């Protein structure tokens, strides 16, 4: 393969790297966190929500998970606990089709409402 062909191949691969089409996150409207449980193997926290989320994971549509490796795990757990104990409204921002332990939809963020 000559150098021009090699440059062409490299450009194609570089272009493919920039063409990633990820699925957008989804904002669930205001609801209540009705149930919180730790992952049995320490893998994170599960949340049951008063509203259904998107299809894509085999768990119930109102079951979600926060991965312990999420960069804001401690903050998300604190917000979830605050919303649960105060019975405050919260918005969940989830990643449709990304399934965590127990095949629950992954939580990206939680908005606590006053």
Cα–Cα distance, 83 to 86 (Å, whole number): 5
Res 53: pLDDT: 95
Phi, psi of 79 (to 5 degrees): -65, -45
Res 42: pLDDT: 87
pLDDT score of 18 more than 60: no
What are the tens digits of pLDDT across the range 3-13?
Answer: 555 454 444 44
Asked if 50 and 87 touch (Cβ cutoff 8 Å), the reply is: no
Token couple for 110: 């939680």
pLDDT score of 1 more than 70: no
Res 8: pLDDT: 45
Res 12: pLDDT: 42
What are the tens digits of pLDDT across the range 56-112?
Answer: 999 999 999 999 999 999 999 999 999 999 999 999 999 999 999 999 999 999 999
User: What architecture does CATH give domain 23-112?
Assistant: Beta Barrel (2.40)
């Amino acid at each position: 393969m000559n150098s021009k062909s090699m440059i062409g191949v490299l450009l194609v691969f570089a272009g493919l790297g920039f063409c990633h089409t990820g699925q957008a996150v989804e904002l669930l409207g205001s609801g209540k966190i009705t149930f919180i449980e730790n992952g049995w193997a320490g893998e994170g926290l599960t949340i049951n929500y008063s509203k259904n989320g998107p299809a894509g994971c085999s768990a119930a549509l109102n079951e979600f998970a926060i991965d312990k490796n999420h960069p804001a795990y401690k903050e998300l757990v604190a917000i979830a606990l605050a919303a649960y104990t105060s019975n405050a409204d919260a918005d969940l921002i989830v990643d449709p089709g990304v399934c965590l332990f127990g095949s629950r939809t992954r939580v990206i963020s939680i908005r606590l409402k006053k």
